[in-house]
Amino acid sequence: MKRPIYLDHHATTPLDPRVLDAMLPYLREDFGNPASSTHLYGWRAEAALTDARERLAAAIGAGDPAEIVFTSGTTESDNLALLGVVRASRQRRRHLVTSVVEHPAVLDACRALEGEGVEVSRLPVDAEGRLDPSAVEAAIGPHTRLVSVGAANGEVGTVQPLDAIAAVCRERGVPFHSDGAQWVGKLPVSVREVGIDLLAFCAHKIYGPKGIGALYVRGGRPRIPLQPILHGGGHQAGRRSGTLPVAQCVGFALALELCVEEKDVEARRQCELRDRLLASLEDALPGVWRNGAREGGLPGNLNVSFDGVAADALLPALPELALSTGSACASANAEPSHVLIALGLAEERVRGALRIGLGRGTGVEDVDFAAQRLIEEVRRARGASSRAKLGGSR
């Protein structure tokens, strides 16, 4: 079977061949354990790891490579940030501020903390998914240990006002964590300029390998308290134990550097493709709704609903396109998207939402073909439902 056109780049991205080439020596001859300090294999692995850490730190505008803690991915990084910072507090009352549109990696970690007696404020967002920094300010209290707000939403592409939220946190002396899985490598990132204290990100959203991520933890004063969630050999200064996969770390660093290098050109190109796709749909069909960010969102993101058509019914008719519904990346179940519900959308629009994620490999011919097939199938679905209604009214 011919492979469908891949339009699900928020879920994951293909491995860049340049990244694979850079990884291969560390899967073959340089396979050593970076913690082996007594021979050449270990030294070479350790040198590669140090280099990868330096390059990742530079790419996100961090001051010191020691601020990069490698993890297995964004889910682990988010968990380390939330559980690690809040559990490090010895106070009886502990409070955390987040938003209703976070990824389950954050929301479920919050739920786990609630089970430990932590109070959690989940702040609402506006119709485009944006959080009001003054709501963050109002929610911070004397017991607040952490504010966690995702940088860019993987369903609707909304980018949060990070500078303003970070400024509020700094003023109130509360560490600021951000889930950057969909942001890093796609838009300009500088943790020091923005004032982010903890940033979670990973390789597989930026054409790197799966199974590797990082948590940036700001060094210096005031110190960010972090209790490890994995215990073991004391690797990474005791913050995250476990033998590191050097090949993945090397691939991660190169993948991010390539994305940073190409991001301006790619962002412009993907915005143009997204606008072209949306214009084709809107020109051909009535009742097309764009969900989430209208301006300034993630370049490759288009979340759309079609009046009277459920996404679940549409997708099986489109095997040539690899798309997802609004909820597909966030969870394994078919619950309606908590993000779209939080935007205040009507249930029909939530059920109708399709998430289209363009990427580096997407071309004009791909979006034109996608538009043509979507238009055909939406028309067919609407025709079938109006025939059914007519039949029913006879």
Ligand X SMILES: Cc1ncc(COP(=O)(O)O)c(C=O)c1O
Give yes or no for residue 182 binding ligand X (CB under 6 A): yes
Q: How far is residue 255 from each of residues 10, 45, 259, measured CA to CA in Å? A: 16, 19, 6
Stretch that binds ligand X, among 67-75, 84-92, 108-116, 258-266 (CB under 6 A): 67-75
Whole-angstrom Cα distance, residue 255 to residue 258? 5
Q: Measured from the CB of residue 202, what is the shortest distance to ligand X in angstroms?
A: 4
Q: Which residues of 1-14 are buried (b: 16+ CB within 10 A; e: fewer)?
A: eeeebbbbbbbbbe
Helices (H), the chain: 17-23, 40-59, 74-88, 104-114, 133-139, 162-172, 191-194, 246-284, 311-314, 338-342, 347-351, 364-393
Closer residue to ligand X, CB minimum distance, 73 or 185: 73
Q: Measured from the CB of residue 181, what is the shortest distance to ligand X in angstroms?
A: 4
In the block, which residue shows the tokens 């939530």?
A: 350
Q: Which residues of 176-186 are buried (b: 16+ CB within 10 A; e: fewer)?
A: bbbbbbbbbbb
Q: Measured from the CB of residue 186, what is the shortest distance to ligand X in angstroms?
A: 12
Stretch that binds ligand X, among 21-29, 139-147, 178-186, 219-227 (CB under 6 A): 178-186
Give yes or no for residue 105 binding ligand X (CB under 6 A): yes
Please name which of 71, 43, 42 lies closest in space to residue 56, comparing C-alpha atoms. Answer: 71
Closer residue to ligand X, CB minimum distance, 74 or 99: 74
**First vs last Cα of the chain: how many Å apart?**
42
From 26, 68, 75, 226, residue interacting with ligand X (rule: CB under 6 A): 75
Whole-angstrom Cα distance, residue 278 to residue 306? 12
Backbone angles phi, psi at 29, to 5 degrees: -75, -30
Residue 340 amino acid letter: L
How many beta carbons lie within 10 A of that of residue 365, not counting itself?
9
**329 belongs to the catalytic site:** yes
From 32, 154, 157, 185, residue interacting with ligand X (rule: CB under 6 A): 154
Closer residue to ligand X, CB minimum distance, 339 or 371: 339
Query: Mask 208-247, x = binds ligand X (CB under 6 A)?
Result: -----x----------------------------------
Give yes or no for residue 185 binding ligand X (CB under 6 A): no
Give yes or no for residue 103 binding ligand X (CB under 6 A): yes
Q: Measured from the CB of residue 390, what is the shortest distance to ligand X in angstroms?
A: 42
Catalytically annotated residue among 169, 202, 249, 329: 329
Coil, strand, or helix at residue 13? coil
Give yes or no for residue 98 binding ligand X (CB under 6 A): no
Stretch that binds ligand X, among 69-77, 79-87, 227-235, 374-382 (CB under 6 A): 69-77
> Which residues form the catalytic set?
329
- Residues in contact with ligand X by the rule CB under 6 A: 73-75, 103, 105, 150, 154, 179, 181-182, 202, 213, 329
